[in-house]
Amino acid sequence: MSTLHLDLAQTQEQQLDELLRTLPAPEEPARGVVADWPVVTSFLADPSWEILFKNVWSAEGGAVSESVLRRPASDAMPPEEQRLAVKIYVSSLGPLEAREYFLRQALSPAGREPLYELEKHDDVVILRLAAPLPAAGDSDAPVNNDSLLLLYRNVVFDLRSYQSTVNVRRLGLRLQHFAEQFAGRELKAQDAPASQLAHRNLDQEIVVDLPATPDPFGDFRGTDFDVKIQASGAVAFLGFQGPTARFQQLGPGEGSIRVQTIHRRTLLASEVAVNLP
């Protein structure tokens, strides 16, 4: 694995861009990681980590799963609660979109120019955003606010530690080794969750079929899917009814509907967008 340090003659963007160009050309049709992602705590040796916050959302060409873990302070540990944030981005389209996502995350990360170092090995790129802090007091274990981005094929791992003794580089490589077992699968549209425009009827009602049925209040947390609805302009959202989202066209004006669907375990995503009239 080669390590590249900041070259002051080049901008960070130039260096990253050049590095990403050396990655293997994406295959046709697009291939990548299609994994059933386990809970993030399973990648940590210490069982005292617990999940504080979890969310999934649609991102450019894919989806992000964000988990924030905490490890309560104890006598043997640093005085502050330790936290660890793990974001996993999976492109549903292929490695090119993941490279663009990686670049965006790398180039706009901070309120100041971050110190960083780059590593590359075959199709793995690691960008360290923060230089490690010195060990606290006389402790042998370095307590870091550490941060790195790791790109592997169609996946980007974004790891941050706060007051934590976790080695984020090692964690990143553990996640990447897991992903490696599920790489090389063809990224077919049928792997993504299927939301599709069902029909428009004479009452100007528009129906979008969903891959799951939410609870009566539109909560999908009990299902394998996350669904986000947007209706704007001359369109009103009427509600969910079984595995459908229903909309009403309110008149002759322009309107739009957007339904984003994410499979929570694979993080494959799809989107239905309808512009009216």
Partner 1 sequence: MSLQVRMKSVRFVGGLPVAWQGNPIWGPHWEEALKASLQEGADGSRRPAVYRINAQVEADVVLEIQGAGGGGPRTLQGSLGGFTLQGTLPLTDGTQTVRVSGVLGNAIARHAGDAVWLLLLPTPFLVGKTRLEVFSVFDSPAPFFTAGVWCEALRLLNGKARVSGSTTRPQAMATLTSFCHSHHSLKYDAHNALNAYVAGKFGGRFDLSAFLSAAHPLVSCFDLLGALVVLGGALGIPTRWLLEEDDFFIKTTSLIGFGLCNNPFFLDKNTPLVIGANEMKRTAFNQHGFCESEAVIYDACIGPHLGTEARQGYLNAAVDDVNRRGLPIPLAATIHDELSIGSLV
Nearer to partner 1, 30 or 150 (CB): 150
List phi, psi (to 5°) of 191.
-75, -25
Nearer to partner 1, 57 or 178 (CB): 57
List phi, psi (to 5°) of 91.
-85, 130
Distance separating alpha carbons of residues 147 and 197, to the nearest angstrom:
41
Q: Restricting to residues 170-229, which ones interact with partner 1 according to CB under 8 A?
A: 215-219, 221, 227-229
231 near partner 1, judged by CB under 8 A: yes
Nearer to partner 1, 107 or 141 (CB): 107
What is the smallest separation between the CB atom of 68 and partner 1, expressed in angstroms? 4
Strand partners, 64: 57, 89
Long-range contacts, stretch 200-205, CB < 8 angstroms, 24+ apart:
200/249, 203/248, 204/248, 204/249, 204/250, 205/238, 205/246, 205/247, 205/248, 205/249
104 near partner 1, judged by CB under 8 A: yes
3 state SS for 237-265: EEEECCCEEEEEECCCCCEEEEEEEEECC
Tokens of 69: 């873990």
118 near partner 1, judged by CB under 8 A: no
For residue 39, CA distances in Å to 19, 124, 190, 211 come to 31, 22, 24, 22
127 near partner 1, judged by CB under 8 A: no
Nearer to partner 1, 107 or 189 (CB): 107
261 near partner 1, judged by CB under 8 A: no
Tokens of 235: 């369109």
For residue 149, CA distances in Å to 102, 135, 233 come to 7, 22, 38
115 near partner 1, judged by CB under 8 A: yes
By CB atoms closer than 10 A (0-12, 13-18, 19+), residue 227 is buried
Q: Which residue in this structure is represented by tokens 């090692």?
A: 170
What is the smallest separation between the CB atom of 29 and partner 1, expressed in angstroms? 29
Build a one-symbol-per-residue string for 39-68: x at contacts with partner 1 by CB under 8 A, - elsewhere.
Answer: -------------xx-x-x-x----x-x-x
Distance separating alpha carbons of residues 148 and 157, to the nearest angstrom:
8
Stretch that binds partner 1, among 2-10, 36-44, 197-205, 231-239 (CB under 8 A): 231-239
- Which of 111, 137, 222, 252 is close enough to bind partner 1 by CB under 8 A? 111
Q: Restricting to residues 143-172, which ones interact with partner 1 according to CB under 8 A?
A: 145, 147, 160, 162
Q: How far is CA 105 from the centre of its chain?
A: 11
List phi, psi (to 5°) of 38.
-75, 170
Binding residues for partner 1, total number by CB under 8 A: 44
- Which of 109, 193, 211, 255 is close enough to bind partner 1 by CB under 8 A? 109
- Which of 8, 112, 137, 252 is close enough to bind partner 1 by CB under 8 A? 112
Nearer to partner 1, 216 or 252 (CB): 216
Nearer to partner 1, 33 or 257 (CB): 257
Q: Which residues bind partner 1 (CB under 8 A)?
A: 52-53, 55, 57, 59, 64, 66, 68, 83, 85, 104, 107-115, 129-131, 133-134, 145, 147, 160, 162, 215-219, 221, 227-232, 237-239
